[in-house]
Each structure stands twice: as structure tokens, then as C-alpha cells.
Amino acid sequence: MVKKILFIEDEASLQKAFGEILRKEGYEMTSALNGEIGLKLAQKMAREGKLDLIILDLILPKIDGFEVLKKLKEDEMTKYVPVIILTNLEGLKDVGKALELGATTYLVKANYSLEEVVTKIKQALSVK
Amino acid sequence: MICRRILSQLNIVAQCRQNNLPLWQCPQLLFLFISFINIFSILFSYFIGQHYITDPLLVSLIVILIAFVLFILTIIITWSFERLIEVARLKTEFANIISHQLRSPLTNLKWLIELLISQKNHLLSSQAAEYLALLKENSQRMEDLISNLLLMIRLEQGEIALNKEKISLVNLIKKVLYENEFFAKANHVLIKFEPPNEELPFCITDPIQLKLVLDNLINNAICYASPSLTGKEGKVTVNLRKENNNFYISVTDNGVGIPKQDQKYIFQKFFRSANAKKYQTAGSGLGLYIAKLLLEKMGGQIGFISQEGQGSTFWLKLPIRY
């Protein structure tokens, strides 16, 4: 069965790039440009049983990534979906807060190549 | 070493300059000043008490005056501390702004270039692919510089946590050498790895940060061992062994070496030796400073020996932990 990924990221160019790569890898990707839509989409997809992984940026319009993560982990439908944080915030407090809230993996964008991020996504999906 | 540290602490003018504060706002100087006033006021009160005991009002007035001066000085000290706190806050904020606002578009750019390059056979002409490779290299340089600045700020503020893992140093070194292979070939430098004679235990450390240190040392060695600088065959040797209770890694090159007068400054922030400026125009002078901060955070040590015209050996030691 095709694994489904929700990508919550406000950079449209990145969404496009990841969409292309992940589709080539055989995954299905849905994207959201802000936290509010992302949260709604996550809840909808989880209810329908169509959500295997969430990739979440932290600086997002409307609702920030921390708030989205908190709400995802409070919701019975979405709390077991692994969440990869993909951000450029690398302060200790940010990393600690995200992991405490239940993020599976924390990736600082600048530290990884596109290929490495895709490998991390594959790993997260294979663990599930 | 300890004496030097104590002496540097006593050099109040230098400390004020370091904190970018005028002397009258420098807490160290003001504290010292208050101490002197305290001592003086005690002695003065005693003297006055002895000689003018017949007029207690005057003694009281002098005590009130001294108390007032001390009060004003305390206010100034409080302001100074507030300013220092504000500076620290602004520094953190600045780091966060750079971190997100400057790095985000750069990362996007880098990833999109990577995507385009990976598709070059389908979409791009060879010339366009070449330009893309140049774009990638330059965006990477800019990102490295920003990352180094950020890392330095965070290390100095104690904001970097080590994500320790059990790793094989042999594998890590091989990985760094593999990644530097192309760069070494381009500079006509031969890299050799001397693995340990015995099987080493796993090293418990942060692989990303240690890789950063090794990458910096090996990259520097390749740069300065290039035949275009020395006129002889370039060689870099990386050695790994166990020494007492430490992992010992050395990176030796037969390059231009470091002038003797520059050697004591080599781990200082933003320092670039005369040779570095002469042969490599690019560079921020942060690599070795960061390497030292990281090694210290890992509980290790870093050092070097070098002779101008002969080459350098940079070594690092990491404690073996089980």
C-alpha cells in the first residue's frame, strides 16, 4: 500500500521539490502551507486512515509548528502518527521542546542534503 | 596558566573593552571602586570619630554622604548589568534571526539546485549543469560561513548539546576521507589513512560535531599541502590509534606549515595566519576555534606541531568511555 505523507511547510518551492522526489520514491504527498490547514488536513487524513507520516516546519503562519505538534499529540486520531520536524531552528530549547511534545525526529534543514532528508523520511516510514 | 587567568581577570580595562562598555559603566571597575570607597569610608569615619567626636552631627552627615555615593554607584552598576543582559539577549535574537531568516532561503536554494542537478540528464545542457554546480558550491560556501558563525555563537553561549552515540571512529574517518577525496584529487594531494593496529572500542560522542572537526582538519591539510603552493608532491596522512585511555587522531600534511610567530594565535577566533592569507583568500578564521570549542565540550583536547615550509600535524584526543 502506498504510504501517505503530510508535508506542512510554508515554502511552496520546497513543497514542490519534496512532492516530486517523494512521488518518485513511491509515496503520496499532501501539502499544507500553514499550521491551521496542516492540522485540519492531518486530522482528516488520520480519520480516513490515510496518514503515515507528518513532516512539520516550526515557523508557520497562523498556528506555529509547536502548537500544531501539541494538538496532533493531544488528538487520539493523530497522536500515533510519527512527526519529523524539518526546520532551521536549532536552539537547544526548540529541539528539547519539540522532542518533549512528541516529535519522532528533529532535522535542522541546513545540516542535511535533500537526499539525506529523503533517507530519514524512508527510515521513519519503515519503522512505522 | 592559572596565574595568567587571574592576571587577565584583574585587567579591568581589557575586560571592559571586551564587553564593549565604557569604563564608567564597567561592573568590574565599579565594584572595585565601591570596595575602595567602603574601606576609605570606614577609615575616614574612624578618623572623624576620633577627632570630632564632639560633633556627632558632622559624622552622621559624612556617613549619609558616603551612603548616597554608594547608592548612586549601585544604581550605575545595576544599569550596567541590565545593559549586559540586553546585549546577551540581542546576541541570541540576532543568532535566531540569522538562523531562520538567512538560512531558510539558502537551504531552499541548495536543495532546489540539488534537485536540478539530479535531473540534469533530462533537462539541462552541460553548460547549464556546470553553472548549477558553481551555484551549488557558492551557496554551500555561504551556508558554511553562516553555520560557522551560528555554531560559534551557540558554543560560546553554551547552547549546543551533544547528541552522543556509539560510533566507530574508523568508519567516521573513512567517511570524511571519502567526502574529501574529490577535493584532494582536484588539489593533487594524496590522502592516506593509517588505521589502528588493534581493534578499538566504540567512541561515545556526537558524530556530526566530530565529523565537523575532522572535516575541518583534513580540509585544511589538503588546502595547504597542494603542490601549487609547495612545489612538491602533496601528502596528507590521517592516523588513528589508542593512546593510554584516549583515542588519538592525527592529521599530518607536508604543506606550507604555520609561521612560528602565528602559532600561539592559531586557535583564536577569526585569526588567519600570514600563510593562510597568502595562499587561501577565502576563509573566516573560525574553523580551528570552533574545533577547539567542540573538542573541549566533548571532553577532549586538540593541538598541533608545525614547521614553516615542512608541514603541520594537528592532533586530537578523545577519552575512551565504556
ipTM of the complex: 0.82
Report the range of poorest mean pLDDT among A36-45, B65-74, B209-218, B237-246.
B65-74
8 Å CB contact of A17 and B147: no
Closest by Cβ to B99, choosing from A89, A92, A95: A89
Half-sphere exposure of A51 (CA within 13 A, CB side): 26
Q: Is B316 helix (H, G, I), strand (E, B) or coil?
A: strand
Name the average pLDDT for chain A.
Answer: 91
The cell for A99 is: 522532542
The answer to whether the CB of B202 falls within 8 A of the CB of B167 is yes
Radius of gyration of chain B (CA): 28
| Contact pairs from chain A to chain B, CB under 8 Å | 49
Chain A from 7 to 36: CB within 8 A of any B CB: 11, 13-14, 17, 20-21
Q: Is B250 helix (H, G, I), strand (E, B) or coil?
A: strand
Q: Is B129 helix (H, G, I), strand (E, B) or coil?
A: helix
Each domain of chain B, given as residue ranges in start order, spans: 1-160, 165-319
User: Quick check: B120 pLDDT over 60?
Assistant: no
User: Quick check: A92 pLDDT over 70?
Assistant: yes
Closest-CA distance of chain B to residue A25, Å: 14
Within 8 A by CB and 6+ apart from A39, the residues are A63, A68, A71, A72
Through-space distance between the first and last CA atoms of chain B, rounded to whole angstroms: 31
Pick from A51, A49, A21: nearest CA to A32: A51
Pairing of strands A53-56, A4-8: parallel
Each domain of chain A, given as residue ranges in start order, spans: 4-127
Q: Which residue has the higher pLDDT, B6 or B77?
A: B77
Closest by Cβ to A17, choosing from B106, B115, B208: B115
User: Quick check: B1 pLDDT over 60?
Assistant: no
Pick the CATH number of B165-319 from 3.40.50.1480, 3.30.565.10, 3.30.70.20, 3.40.50.720: 3.30.565.10
Name the average pLDDT for chain B.
Answer: 83
Residues B263-273: what's their mean pLDDT? 85
Q: Is A85 helix (H, G, I), strand (E, B) or coil?
A: strand
Radius of gyration of chain A (CA): 13
Domain A4-127 falls under CATH 3.30.70.270? no
Residue B76 host element (H or E)? helix B56-97
What is each CA distance from B149 to B87, B91, B95, B162, B286, in whole angstroms?
17, 12, 9, 18, 8
How far apart are alpha carbons B262 and B271 in whole angstroms? Answer: 9
Closest by Cβ to A110, choosing from B112, B143, B160: B143
